Structure 1
Amino acid sequence: MITETWAVSSYSMPDENCVEARCSRHPTGEATEVAVRDTKWRTGPMLSLGSGAWSAFVAGLRREDGSA
């Protein structure tokens, strides 16, 4: 498995609530998991989602009416 480095959200601002995400990929390049953590608490817990669950989460955020 190939794990990419943590990426900080483009919406992150100093002294604000910020998140980072990291994608793990199969050697074929297919995403297998996305992990999310708090930028201010990098040693704390992280949320890990399978690639399908991550895609559904992002699709829900992109809906204009906010419905899931």
Structure 2
Amino acid sequence: MRALDDQWRTSTRSGGNGACVEARYTDHSAQVRDSKDRQGPVLSFSPSAWTSFVDALKR
């Protein structure tokens, strides 16, 4: 898990077609939201769950 970085970021691999998610790191979680609905729901993941997810994507 990265250090605290509460700024929302869009993946550098997103295609710019509007079908993107944004992520940020907080003190105790990684959070994800829909870039088209920034006021909408935010999903929160524990550090271990987020790391497992990212590692699985890399494989």
In the superposition, the TM-score normalised over structure 1's length comes to 0.71
Q: Is the 8 A contact 2:22 2:32 kept in 1?
A: yes
Deviation at 1:3, TM superposition (A): 5.6
Q: Are 1:43 and 2:45 an aligned pair?
A: no
Deviation at 1:8, TM superposition (A): 1.3
Unpaired segments ≥5 residues, structure 1: 26-31, 64-68
Aligned residues: CA RMSD = 1.5
Q: Which amino acid aligns with 2:40?
A: G
CA deviation digits over 1:18-66, x for unaligned, max 9?
11001012xxxxxx20000010100111110000000000011011xxx
Q: Are 1:33 and 2:11 an aligned pair?
A: no
Unpaired segments ≥5 residues, structure 2: none
Q: Distance in 1 between matches of 2:21 and 2:50?
A: 15
Helix, strand or coil: the match of 1:58?
helix
In the superposition, the TM-score normalised over structure 2's length comes to 0.81
Q: Is the 8 A contact 2:18 2:36 kept in 1?
A: no
